[in-house]
A and B are shown apart, each in its own frame.
Chain A
């Protein structure tokens, strides 16, 4: 039976995902830096008062007392602040305070203009939120962390483990909801949903210039129904050792398909980098050791 007391006790003992949380902190920060750099030419258009487009900030900014016009006038200050926090976060400087400030500053940036945000952006914001509570500073930090006194450390472990499991649950929820919405769509129901996406010129690499792609019905139906089945099964099968690797390989293929054929790049990466959380610390460390020894063998000549 689900025993809250036991779970709390277990979570207090150690930071169960210590290594991968550190990896994730670095990867998410690098992902944001990459997104910011490739969005750099667009900043004036997206955030400035002098943009040729008139884009309103969301009501949330106003409700929290932010002056959207002032922020727009000095948007580069906000972006520089975000970039600085990202660099600090990569090196683990300022730890959870930096992580939380990073989450808040990206939230402000998001609400300054959220018209172009996609699911990848939303997922990355959630990751920043969860990571701001997690202890992701056991590895890859500039300064080694000293543990707190035992009682405090236990609470920190608890919060960190809750944050890690929340990310995992959130990933499961996102796949499951995507499956639910697809199963409610009439075109996915009759097996033609993928056909229309392959012919959608906004996404498909094949449909340039509204070119018609005669995807065979059987292929469209197999991929469509398969995707729905995968998204429904993910939250249940990912927790078991036997099915985990298989489900990750299939999901990886699905995301590679999205990356290669549907021109959605950032989202694919942000979803995939979370998969490592589902492995135990020992499994992740073991895999890292194997990779290290393989690389050592490979570059022995050097």
Chain B
């Protein structure tokens, strides 16, 4: 026996080692379970899943979700007295130019890009939900009708307005940065998908249009 090591200590350390090994096995079982079979495992052990996702979140998509379109987020500003005098800025491109300009030290622009991307996702989810409800309620109408009706409902829904509020806030921020005068003006926001030309002549699920409007708000004063 080495000096300073009693028999009881030795037994305690041995059991401690086994307990640590058991904990590690349990940790990896949960990890593999949540990564490979997320739904059944999270419903079987909701508390551990919550703890796990709080501290050790794992989500390894790494460029696995292919997007067949680029987004436009048009911020249209017009004179209230003279509506023909309008100015459109694509907020996505405005941000991406900044992101490219400061690369590779573009963490600020990259963070804003990710946030606005998620806000646009949020608006799209709400729009799809509204369109689905409208189609069930009022079947047989044109795509334009559903777009306008759903946009109006999403735009006026105060419960889920944070996504749109943040998009508008970014638009205002852009106007401020560019030192554009907003007095006597009103704005409108629209989200448009610009489809990338298909790689193959007959791409299975690519829409046969160049672009599609996803959301269009009404004009509001600054």
Residue of chain A at shortest CB distance from B62: A178
A8 to B16 CA separation, bound complex (whole angstroms): 11
B70 touches A201 (CB 8 A): yes
> Could you tell me the distance in whole angstroms from the C-beta of A251 to the nearest C-beta in chain B?
12
CB pair A173–B31 under 8 Å, yes or no, is: yes
Size of A's binding interface in residues, CB under 8 A: 81
User: Which chain B residues border A205 with CB–CB below 8 Å?
Assistant: 100, 103
Q: Which residues of A contact B66 (CB under 8 A)?
A: 185-188, 192-193, 196-197
**Chain A contact residues: helix, strand, loop or mixed:** helix
**A195 CB–B CB distance under 8 Å:** yes
Q: Which of chain A's residues have a CB closer than 8 A to the CB of B124?
A: none
Q: Kindly provide the distance from the CB of B151 to the nearest chain A CB, expressed in whole angstroms.
A: 21
Q: Which of B9-26 contact A (CB under 8 A)?
A: 9-10, 12-13, 16-18, 20-21, 24
Q: Determine whether A118 belongs to the interface, using a CB cutoff of 8 Å to chain B.
A: yes
* B166 beta carbon closer than 8 Å to chain A: yes
Q: How far is the CA of A151 from the CA of B197 in the complex (A)?
A: 66
Smallest Cβ-Cβ distance to B58: which chain A residue: A122
Residues of chain B with a CB closer than 8 A to A263's CB: 99-100, 103-104, 106, 110
Q: How far is the CA of A185 from the CA of B60 in the complex (A)?
A: 14
Q: Are A217 and B117 in contact (CB under 8 A)?
A: no
Stretch at the interface among A16-24, A135-143, A158-166, A283-291: A158-166
B172 touches A118 (CB 8 A): no
Check A96 for interface membership: any CB of B closer than 8 A: no
Q: What's the nearest-Cβ distance from chain A to residue B90, in Å?
A: 9
Number of A-B contacts (CB under 8 A): 196
In the bound complex, do residue A155 and residue B100 qualify as a contact, i.e. CB atoms below 8 Å apart?
no
Binary B-proximity of A20-45 (CB < 8 A = 1, otherwise 0)? 00000000000000010011011001
Given A4-B21, A150-B4, A151-B13, A119 and B60 contact (CB-CB distance below 8 Å): yes
Q: Which of A70-78, A80-88, A206-214, A239-247 contacts B (4 or more CB under 8 A)?
A: A206-214
Min CB distance B8 to A, Å, is: 10
Does B28 lie within 8 Å of A169, measured CB to CB? Answer: yes
A interface residues (Cβ-Cβ under 8 A, vs B)? 4, 7-8, 12, 35, 38-39, 41-42, 45-46, 52-56, 58, 60, 63-64, 107, 111, 115-119, 122, 125-126, 129, 149-152, 154-155, 158-159, 162, 166, 169-170, 173-175, 177-178, 181-182, 184-188, 190, 192-193, 195-197, 199-202, 205, 207-210, 212, 215, 217, 220, 231, 258-259, 262-263, 265-266
